[in-house]
Chain A
Amino acid sequence: MSDLIDRYLAAIARELPERDRADITAELRDELMSQIESREEALGRPLEPRELEAELTGFGNPLVVAGRYRKVQHLIGPQMFPFWWAAMRATLTVIVVVYLVLIVLGLIFGGGDLAGLDAPEPMLVLASAFGAVTGVCALIERYGNPAKVARWRPERLPPARGKARSRFELLTEVGMGAVFLLWWTGVIHFRNFAPEIGLRIEMAPVWARYYWWILGYAVIEIASNLVALVRPDRAQLVRWMVIWRSLFGAAVLLGVIQAGRFLIVTGPAGKAQAIFDLWVRVGIGVTIVVFLARAATEAWRLRQYDQGVGAAA
């Protein structure tokens, strides 16, 4: 009988901090022995092995019994959980958008093969992001002050009226911006040739001339979306950022469109050079119009807001 009790208490002891191990197991041994003796007294005989097993089973799984003495009972508590969940949703949305864009681009340029894009495995990225967000929240839970994270200021609430972009929309734009940035800076590559039809496409020198301007635009776009996400109360600031970034984008593309050639098409399909350039020119033209329309819309909304504020005052 005592062998089974010793084994049970040893299993609990293994899970306890060394400092308290002897003390806790001595107390648990006394409780267990008192329970068994009381039971034996009631039955008028010693416990049979299966009855002793039932007693120990009722006392609890050694891991659970020892776990109750642990100071930390959870990785992320109820105060921290909403922030963990919000951070996780935002991170996973960006990753999913990035990979969806990569898959679509892969289908177009890489024959549907993500391996051709030099991008890390999606599952690895998802698992790393899950681990990183959980790890940071757990560290705040353990060593930081979750109550401090929950502090907020009512004046930072987004305006109740006016059309605000949803968090999903903003995260999607951040994700797409990230893909563009990764491609533009050469971190990821897309296949630029189609051997089956002997087609190879290179960027014309005009893009290299505007490399830093376009990089700057992409960074500003991501930054303004992040500001809109983190500080939804600064709707007016974000509108100004969108206006200036759209005008900046239109100005850069107005410079690019002056060039005669946007792509260098080589191979037997090189005869299609003029058609490719025409389509890119049309694309750039449409983008400039979109930029200007966006700037005008945001300027109109700013004006509406100012008039609304004036009328309210």
Chain B
Amino acid sequence: MPNDADIFETLRQELRRGSLIMAVLGQLRAEHYGYTLRKALADAGVEIDEGALYPMLRRLEAQGLLASEWRLEERRNKRFYRLSAEGEAVLARLVEEWTGLNASVDAILGKPS
């Protein structure tokens, strides 16, 4: 039987799942390769493990929201990602949705928005 910690962890992961995509898209307004993207997200307080990040990057690229290119840097070939024009538009809509949802949840919880 799951204990309180397990239940909280499951709920926390569900809560994070959608917002991680937005954080990744937002961070990629500036160009990054995988490792520096993870570091930048972690520095901003959004931890994401590589097992989740790289498949997500490929999926977002296949959806046309990201563009990527291989370049040599620091003696190694790295794949650099950047938000595409389509990604910018989708991100703007997601931010709008997020802001509205946040305000609604804040209102339900009785917090000033």
Contacts and interface: CB of A to CB of B under 8 A. Distances in A.
Interface of A: 20, 24, 26-28, 30-31, 33-35, 59-60, 64-65, 68-69
B26 interface: no
Interface in B12-51: 33-35, 50-51
Contacts of A69: 54-55, 58
B77 interface: yes
B52 A30 contact: no
Given A26-B79, A30-B34, 20 more contacts: A26-B77, A27-B34, A27-B54, A28-B50, A28-B54, A30-B33, A30-B78, A31-B35, A31-B50, A31-B54, A35-B35, A35-B50, A59-B50, A59-B51, A64-B51, A65-B51, A68-B51, A68-B52, A68-B54, A69-B54
A35 B36 CA distance: 10
Nearest to A34: B35
B55 to A, nearest CB: 4
Contacts of A60: 51
Name A's interface SS: helix
Name B's interface SS: helix
B76 interface: yes
Contacts of A35: 35, 50
Nearest to B70: A26
A13 B34 CA distance: 19
Contacts of A26: 70, 77, 79
Nearest to A68: B55
A31 B48 CA distance: 13
Nearest to A64: B51
18 contacts: A24-B58, A26-B77, A26-B79, A28-B50, A28-B54, A30-B33, A30-B76, A31-B35, A35-B35, A35-B50, A59-B51, A64-B51, A65-B51, A68-B51, A68-B52, A68-B54, A68-B55, A69-B58
A35 B42 CA distance: 14
B79 A27 contact: yes
Contacts of A28: 50, 54
Nearest to A20: B58
